[in-house]
Amino acid sequence: MEIDFVITWVDMDDIRWKDDFARYNGKIDNSKNEVSQARFRDYGFLKYWFRGVEKFAPWVRKIHFVTCGQQPDWLDANNPKLSLVNHEDYIPKQFLPCFNSCVLEIYMHKIKDLSDNFVYFNDDFFITNHLTPERFFTAGLPNDIATFRYNSGIGLWAKTLKNNIRIINQRFDKQEIMERDGDKWFNPVYGKKARLTRLLKSYNKFITLRTPHNAQPYLKTTFDEVWQYAENELTEMSAHRFRTPRDLTPELFRTWQICNGNFAPYNTYCDTKMFPLLVKSRQAVDAIYNQKYKLICLNDNEHIRNYQQVMKNIENAFESILPEKSKFEK
């Protein structure tokens, strides 16, 4: 089984990007989540993502590095495992330039030479310990956790997740799915994470699934199926250059995959952790130093106090476990 990685990245200091951003939005506004500084800034940790891949997941077939034509000065574009992907290579040109990561993600299956089994990374997801292909796929199926969570619907992300579920409930019959795949939905590996799923077993509609914010395995065929069913909705949201409460997200494809039964039960939370740096920067630093998890997310926020020091502490932690240059660096 060949497995590819896809990672999206942006450099907000790039002059061309700044010009395009100003043309369509005006300026960074930290009072709005969709155009805040934290959504686009980069502190130089990308090289540790590549070092982590080389050291802890050397089995990956190819890395598809997706940008709007940017690349760091240190990146070796000639590495045979690296594929540089411009937005215009796979997204219809009428929707570009695009500053909405959700739009960049719903077209991923169009990336040239993408393997049928792939793992998607945001640029704040990092590998910090050894992984095998079986961490992401079992017998060709994505490993995932099929459990419900409470969705308040207050924030921008929560609202988009509800948009996803509306489409899921249009397409799938919950009781039918539960009867067919009960061993997957009520698998003991989930532990306490399945509590709400058990409580809502008799409820006849899907609600938002737990959404581990980290590297996500996909089947390329899932994207084809979702697009065939919801092409109008996906095409309409493609015109949203910036995030909106009307968006659909990659969670639609993940949930669809699960409802189709195309997954293997796995408690993603056992080796994955998201750290909101606004409140858990110390825990994040400790997790990197001690390699407590295989995958971590360093969730940025525009209101982090002592930002420069926090970033320096994280950099030092990465240097302690990944001090050597990878073959992706010049």
- Rounded to an integer, what distance in angstroms lies between the CA atom of residue 16 and that of residue 22? 10
Longest Cα–Cα distance of the chain, Å, equals 57
Which residue carries 């065929």 as its tokens? Answer: 221
Q: Are 221 and 140 in contact (CB under 8 A)?
A: no
With a cut of 80, say whether residue 37 has pLDDT above it.
no
Which of 106, 109, 51, 45 has its CA nearest to residue 79?
51
Element (H, E) at 62: strand 62-67
Q: What pLDDT digit, counting tens, does each position of 312-323 carry?
A: 999 999 999 999
With a cut of 70, say whether residue 116 has pLDDT above it.
yes
Q: What pLDDT digit, counting tens, does each position of 290-312 carry?
A: 999 999 999 988 888 899 999 99
Work out the percent of the chain whose per-residue pLDDT is above 90. 87
Given pLDDT bands bounded at 50, 70 and 90, which one contains residue 34?
A: low
Model pLDDT, residue 153: 79
With a cut of 70, say whether residue 33 has pLDDT above it.
no
Which architecture characterizes domain 3-321 according to CATH? Alpha-Beta Complex (3.90)
Q: Are 84 and 68 in contact (CB under 8 A)?
A: no
- Rounded to an integer, what distance in angstroms lies between the CA atom of residue 49 and that of residue 125? 8
Given pLDDT bands bounded at 50, 70 and 90, which one contains residue 28?
A: confident
DSSP for residue 209: B
Whether the upstream peptide bond of residue 188 has omega within 30° of 0, thus cis, is no
The strand pair at 62-67 and 216-219 is best described as unpaired
Which of 202, 140, 118 has its CA nearest to residue 1?
140
Of residues 38 and 4, the one with the higher pLDDT is 4
- Rounded to an integer, what distance in angstroms lies between the CA atom of residue 10 and that of residue 14? 9
Q: Are 282 and 161 in contact (CB under 8 A)?
A: no
Q: What pLDDT digit, counting tens, does each position of 59-97 carry?
A: 999 999 999 999 999 999 999 999 999 999 999 999 999
Q: Are 90 and 112 in contact (CB under 8 A)?
A: yes
Kindly list the distances between the CA atom of residue 71 and the CA atoms of 10, 46, 84, 164, 174, in Å, as whole numbers in the listed order: 9, 11, 8, 32, 44
Element (H, E) at 235: helix 220-237
SS3 58: coil
Which of 48, 50, 31, 37 has its CA nearest to residue 10?
37
Q: What pLDDT digit, counting tens, does each position of 137-167 carry?
A: 999 999 999 999 999 878 889 999 999 999 9
- Rounded to an integer, what distance in angstroms lies between the CA atom of residue 45 and that of residue 318? 8
Model pLDDT, residue 38: 65
SS3 91: coil
Provide the β-strand partners of residue 218: 118
Model pLDDT, residue 13: 87
Tell me the pLDDT of the chain averaged across its residues: 95
Which of 74, 96, 31 has its CA nearest to residue 303?
31
Element (H, E) at 299: strand 295-299
Burial 76-85 (b: 16+ CB within 10 A, else e): eeebebbbeb
